[in-house]
Structure 1
């Protein structure tokens, strides 16, 4: 079974992230979903409850849209509160050791804009160093991110095209989870 930490601040209006989650729910993968934005709209995250959920799972998926080259604030708050000393790191903080840290996110802009001379100057993987280091620091197995671009209708794609691409990403995620079970 996998745990999906859903960190979309406006999930109800999402096209891509919503399609990914719906595809996972209807798949044959056993996944438990924690929609932290709806569980903690005040950002008052209960570390002990979240830690209990993490401890029950080998595969932890972090599903979110990229916001200003980073994770949404609710996910950063979740990391700050849940991955505490003595639990996730420190001399006795080995509770996450060996668990799989699986980033799965969506990127609004086109891939062509994420390169040295593109509008965003860096490749998407370069914006993932903070989460990669978080996985290493907590002794988790960092899995290369699963993501896709052009998730915004502002990039010229229709809602249907975005949803179709999101379902494709979900299928990739499902296949990956099956391969490591």
Structure 2
């Protein structure tokens, strides 16, 4: 069974992330999906409940929109509170050791904008080093991120285009989760 930590601050307005979650829910996979914005709208994260959820699963998927070259604030806050000393790292902090760490996210801009000397200057993978380091520090197995570009309606993409890309993304994620069993 895999755990999906959904960190989207406006999930109800999402086309991409909402489609991904809907596709995951329709799959035959045994999943637990935790919408942390819905669970903790005031950011009062129940650390014990979240740690218990992590302990129940071998694979943890972090699903979110790519915001300002990083994850949304609610997900960063979740990391700050949940991955504690003596649980995720440090003395006896090996509770996540050998679990799979899967970043899965959506990027609003087109891929061409994430090239050297373009608008965003760096490639998306270069912005994922903090996730990779977190997995390393907590002794988890870092799985290369799954993501796709072009989810912003403001950038000229249509709802149909975004949903189709999200469905393709979902199939890749589902296959990965099957392979990781």
The TM-score by the shorter chain falls in which range? over 0.9
2:93 corresponding residue in structure 1: 93
Q: TM-score, normalised by structure 2?
A: 0.99
2:11 corresponding residue in structure 1: 11
Q: TM-score, normalised by structure 1?
A: 0.99
Specify the SS of the correspondent of 2:9: coil
**Aligned-pair CA distance for 1:164:** 0.6
Q: Structure 1: which 4+ aligned runs deviate by more than 6 Å? A: none
2:123 corresponding residue in structure 1: 123
* Structure-to-structure mapping, 1:155-174, within 5 angstroms: 155-174=155-174
Structure 1 unaligned blocks of 5 or more: none
Query: For 1:15 and 1:9, how far apart are their aligned partners in 2?
Result: 13
1:65 corresponding residue in structure 2: 65
Structure 2 unaligned blocks of 5 or more: none
1:146 corresponding residue in structure 2: 146
Query: 1:74-116 deviations in whole A, cap 9, x for unaligned?
Result: 0000000000000000021000000000000000000000011
Query: For 2:176 and 2:147, how far apart are their aligned partners in 1?
Result: 13
Q: Please give the root-mean-square deviation of Cα atoms over the aligned residues, in Å.
A: 0.5
**Aligned-pair CA distance for 1:155:** 2.1
Query: For 2:53 and 2:91, how far apart are their aligned partners in 1?
Result: 22
**Aligned-pair CA distance for 1:12:** 0.1
Query: For 1:133 and 1:34, how far apart are their aligned partners in 2?
Result: 23
